[in-house]
Amino acid sequence: MTSVRAVLTWTALAVATAVPIGAAAASPLLAWRAPVYIAAGFAGVAGLALLLIQPLLIGGYLPGPSAERARRLHPWVGGLLVAAVVLHVAGLWITSPQDVVDVLLFQSPTPFSVWGVIGMWAVFAAALLAALRRRLRLRPRVWRITHAFLAVVIVVGSAAHAMLVEGTMETISKAALCGLVLLATTKVIADLRIWPKRSAVR
C-alpha cells in the first residue's frame, strides 16, 4: 500500500510539473520567438514548477526521503529557483532591455509585470535571509514567520504573474499548476503552525 501511494504521489507530481512545460513547448507562439526569449520563458515555467516542490519538501509530503533529508534539499531547490528567476529576467533583458528597466522601476503598463517583480524580489530576499540566517542570529520563531511570509509573497506574486501573462503556457495546465502551488503552500503553513495564535500573541 505504501509503495502504491509513493508511485501515485510521484506520478502526480511529475504530471503536474511536466504537462505545463510540455504544453508550453508545443505552443505555436514559439515559432516567432528568439532562442534567448524562449529560454527565458522556460526558465520562468521551471521556476513555477520548483515552487510546487518547495512546500512539499519542507512539509515532508514526498514519499522516499526522510523529513531531515527533504529539509536539506529545500535550500538546494531554493538555489535552483533563484537561478531560474535570474535566467528568466536576464533573457528578457537581452531581448528587450528597456522593457525590463520599466518593469523593475514599476513603470510598465502591464499588470503582470508588477506581480512578477514583487515575486522576484521576494525570492531574492528569502534566499539572502537564508544565507545570512546564522550571522543575523534570528530566533527560530522569527525566522519561520519571516521566511513563511516571504514564501507567501513569492507564491502569490508568481501565480498572479503567470496567470496574467498571455504567452506560451497553456491556460488550463497553468491554472492547475498555480492552484497546486497555492494549495501546497497553504497546507504546509497550516500544518507547521507557523503563524502564532492570537491567544499566544496576547
pLDDT of 45-97, one tens digit each? 999 999 999 999 999 898 887 878 888 899 999 999 999 999 999 999 999 88
What is the pTM (predicted TM-score) of this model? 0.89
Note the pLDDT of residue 39: 93
Note the pLDDT of residue 135: 85
**In 3D, which of 191, 174, 195 has the Cα closest to residue 47?**
174
Note the pLDDT of residue 77: 95
Average pLDDT in the chain: 89
**In 3D, which of 80, 83, 78, 155 has the Cα closest to residue 116?**
155
First to last CA, the chain: 45
Note the pLDDT of residue 195: 66
Q: How far apart, in whole angstroms, are the C-alpha atoms of residue 141 and residue 178?
A: 28
Note the pLDDT of residue 106: 84
Note the pLDDT of residue 198: 53
Note the pLDDT of residue 94: 93
Q: Does residue 202 or residue 62 have the better pLDDT?
A: 62
pLDDT at 142 over 60: yes
Would you state the cell numbers that stand for residue 143, as one nine-digit string? 525566522
Note the pLDDT of residue 199: 47
Q: Does residue 3 or residue 72 have the better pLDDT?
A: 72
Per-residue pLDDT reduced to its tens digit, 176-201:
999 999 999 999 999 887 766 554 44
- Tell me how far apart the 2 most distant CA atoms of the chain are, in Å: 59
Q: How far apart, in whole angstroms, are the C-alpha atoms of residue 171 and residue 94?
A: 26
Q: What is the phi-psi region of residue 66: left when phi exceeds 0, alpha when psi lies from -120 to 50, beta otherwise?
A: beta
